[in-house]
């Protein structure tokens, strides 16, 4: 198997010794998360990947089977950070290597809980399902990752998210590659229940109206917090992309996920649901980890501020998204039974969606279809760095939608005598937060103390530091102009100054 950037070799691990001891959360005493769920007959099929972030990692044979499919290999052609790659030359990594990293961390995390707390009854099937979910959680991403479901699809009135597409692609992958036989070989319990559990991990649901899952009962709800944690945002998906993106972008990462993982423990927590109190098992952390977790969310904000929401990167994503919207109906992507689909139409056919990657930009550029001329012009301007001009961004004291901002700005343009209209400008609302909008995510985390590990407590911000923020979200509204004509730009900036005065907000000038 060609890993392109990741070295891999077979390894005979039969001679390795069994676990010699047992300490809570001590990963070093494990043979490995993967070795522990393989029979002696299958240990020789275990394979090792040399990952740039996690070093030499062991991948379960069933996960390797999934990796060696066209549907997973497709992730090699989808940039992890989308338009940010046009700003940071080193950010050339793809969803492919990130997904393998999440698979590795998912296995480490669930195995650490298993070793530390045997009473949780975590089975081999549980471990493997969580690993597969980590591996497959991003199968549904489209071109340039979040640009596709965050910009392009909403621009055509489609609110589909990549999580639901990951579920569809997972089913498609298993069916097309006839992997049910391999699944039966490695799973000990009911195949359909385990597959259901995997898809539930890929697209978690709201628990406020009762237990929504069929793959596992409520005693194992903590397993739903490992890959994608909707309760507080602390999960292995973030741990990998924080480490990987910081490394590739050249941004310092001050968060230590290994320390956090070793302190994790499942504790029963009293929660309020459906107007009544009940106990549920949640992943909690040692009280002394609270500073480290605040640092995790601070790292998230820094990555969004300096990279994911970078002004130039966002400009390029806006332009590519506009080009794709113009080309949508004219592009023909082959799918099932020799049918062809538009870009947005591929969502209904996973055979077609499998062919939709970052290469769509080249497909538009190479096309001789005259209907694509306007889209091609935009993409040529991206390549020539002739980008929309950022007039500046405003920090608003109150929330405002891009539609509301546009209406008020167009009004100011007219009042200032500008000939620019709505189609000549673009407004982008940028939300920077700790992952839970205006809430402090640490309020949703529970901690335990060394001398009372089975009691979950809350740690309030005032008990941690007076230097922590009082506000956990800010909205910026960025204004772009599509023309480079000096006089029109002057009028656009004057209108923006007046807009900001009317909204009583500060303006940070753009380019």
**Cβ neighbours of residue 42 under 8 Å, at least 6 residues apart?**
61, 186
Give the pLDDT confidence score for residue 40 in this predicted structure: 63
Which residues have a catalytic role annotated?
162
142, 78 contact by CB (below 8 A): yes
Both tokens assigned to 502: 């009317």
Q: What pLDDT, in 10s, does the model give residues 160-175?
A: 999 999 999 999 999 9
The band of 13, judged by pLDDT with boundaries at 50, 70 and 90, is very low
**Quick check: 79 pLDDT over 90?**
yes
Q: Running DSSP on this structure, what letter comes out for residue 145?
A: B
Minimal CA–CA distance to 492: which of 397, 429, 445, 422? 422
420, 484 contact by CB (below 8 A): no
Both tokens assigned to 168: 């569809």
436, 232 contact by CB (below 8 A): yes
Q: Running DSSP on this structure, what letter comes out for residue 423?
A: G
What kind and span of H or E run contains 282?
strand 276-286
Give the pLDDT confidence score for residue 326 in this predicted structure: 98
* CA–CA gap between residue 310 and residue 87 (Å, rounded): 8
Residues belonging to the chain? 511
* CA–CA gap between residue 209 and residue 274 (Å, rounded): 6
DSSP string, 338-400: G-EE-TGGGGG-HHHHTT-STTHHHHHHH---GGGHHHHHHHHHHHTT-PPEEEEEEE-SS--
The band of 285, judged by pLDDT with boundaries at 50, 70 and 90, is very high
Give the pLDDT confidence score for residue 39 in this predicted structure: 65
**Cβ neighbours of residue 299 under 8 Å, at least 6 residues apart?**
242, 246, 253, 254, 255
User: How many other CB atoms are there within 10 angstroms of residue 172's CB atom?
Assistant: 19
Phi-psi region of 352 (alpha: psi -120 to 50; beta: other; left: phi over 0): alpha
What kind and span of H or E run contains 507?
strand 506-509
Helix (H, G, I), strand (E, B) or coil at 506: strand
User: How many other CB atoms are there within 10 angstroms of residue 348's CB atom?
Assistant: 12
Give the pLDDT confidence score for residue 1 in this predicted structure: 42
For 124, counting Cβ atoms within 10 Å of its Cβ (0-12 exposed, 13-18 middle, 19+ buried), the class is: middle
115, 29 contact by CB (below 8 A): yes
Q: What pLDDT, in 10s, does the model give residues 437-451?
A: 999 999 999 999 999
Kindly give the pairing relationship between strand 425-433 and strand 389-395. unpaired
Mean pLDDT value of segment 207-227: 94
CA angle in degrees (0–180, nearest 5) for 298-507-306: 30
For 250, counting Cβ atoms within 10 Å of its Cβ (0-12 exposed, 13-18 middle, 19+ buried), the class is: exposed
Q: What pLDDT, in 10s, does the model give residues 380-431?
A: 999 999 999 999 999 988 889 999 999 999 999 999 999 999 999 999 999 9
> In degrees to the nearest 10, what's the CA dihedral of 164, 165, 169, 170?
-30
Strand partners, 470: none
Mean pLDDT value of segment 488-511: 91
Give the pLDDT confidence score for residue 156 in this predicted structure: 97
CA angle in degrees (0–180, nearest 5) for 290-449-289: 20
111, 38 contact by CB (below 8 A): no
Could you give phi then psi for residue 213, rounded to 5 degrees?
-105, 155
């Amino acid at each position: 198997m060609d890993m392109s950037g990741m070295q891999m070799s077979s390894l005979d691990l039969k001679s390795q010794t069994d676990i010699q001891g047992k300490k809570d959360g001590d990963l070093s005493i494990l043979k490995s998360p993967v070795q522990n769920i393989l029979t002696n007959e299958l240990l020789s099929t275990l394979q090792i990947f040399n990952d740039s972030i996690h070093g030499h990692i062991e991948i379960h044979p069933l996960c390797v089977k999934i990796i060696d499919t066209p549907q997973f290999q497709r992730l090699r052609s989808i940039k992890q950070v989308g338009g940010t790659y046009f700003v940071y030359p080193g950010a050339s990594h793809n969803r492919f290597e990130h997904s393998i990293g999440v698979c590795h961390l998912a296995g480490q995390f669930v195995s650490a809980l298993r070793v530390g707390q045997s009473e949780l009854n975590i089975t081999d099937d549980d471990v493997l399902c969580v690993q597969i979910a980590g591996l497959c959680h991003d199968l549904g991403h489209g071109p340039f990752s979040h640009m596709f479901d965050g910009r392009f699809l909403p621009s055509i009135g489609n609110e589909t998210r990549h999580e639901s597409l990951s579920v569809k692609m997972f089913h498609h992958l298993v069916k097309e590659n006839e992997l049910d036989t391999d699944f039966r070989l490695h799973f000990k319990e009911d195949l359909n229940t385990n597959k259901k559990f995997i898809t539930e991990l890929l697209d978690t649901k709201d628990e406020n109206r009762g237990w929504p899952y069929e793959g596992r009962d409520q005693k194992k709800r903590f397993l739903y917090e490992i890959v994608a944690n909707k309760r507080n945002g602390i999960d292995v998906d973030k741990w990998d992309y924080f480490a990987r993106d910081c490394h590739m972008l050249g941004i310092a990462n001050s968060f230590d996920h290994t320390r956090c993982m070793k302190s994790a423990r499942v504790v029963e927590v009293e929660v309020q649901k459906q107007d009544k109190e009940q106990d549920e098992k949640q992943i909690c952390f040692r009280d002394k980890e609270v500073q480290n977790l605040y640092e995790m969310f601070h790292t998230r904000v820094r990555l969004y501020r300096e990279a994911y929401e970078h002004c130039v990167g966002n400009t390029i994503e806006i332009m590519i998204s506009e080009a794709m919207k113009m080309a949508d109906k004219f592009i023909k992507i082959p799918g099932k039974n020799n049918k062809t689909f538009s870009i947005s139409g591929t969502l209904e056919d996973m055979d077609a969606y499998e062919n939709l990657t970052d290469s769509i930009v080249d497909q538009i550029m190479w096309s001789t279809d005259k209907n694509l001329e306007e889209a091609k012009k935009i993409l040529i301007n991206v390549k020539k760095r002739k980008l929309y001009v950022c007039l500046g961004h405003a920090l608003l004291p109150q929330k405002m939608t891009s539609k509301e901002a546009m209406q008020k700005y167009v009004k100011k343009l007219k009042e200032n005598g500008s000939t620019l209209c709505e189609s000549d400008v673009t407004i982008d609302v940028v939300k920077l937060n700790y992952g839970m909008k205006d809430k402090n995510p640490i309020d949703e985390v529970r901690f335990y103390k060394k001398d009372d590990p089975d009691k979950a407590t809350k740690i309030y911000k005032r008990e941690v530091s007076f230097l922590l923020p009082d506000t956990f979200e800010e909205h910026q509204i960025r204004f772009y102009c599509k023309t480079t004509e000096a006089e029109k730009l002057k009028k656009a900036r004057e209108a923006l100054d007046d807009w900001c005065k009317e909204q009583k907000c500060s303006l940070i000038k753009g380019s």
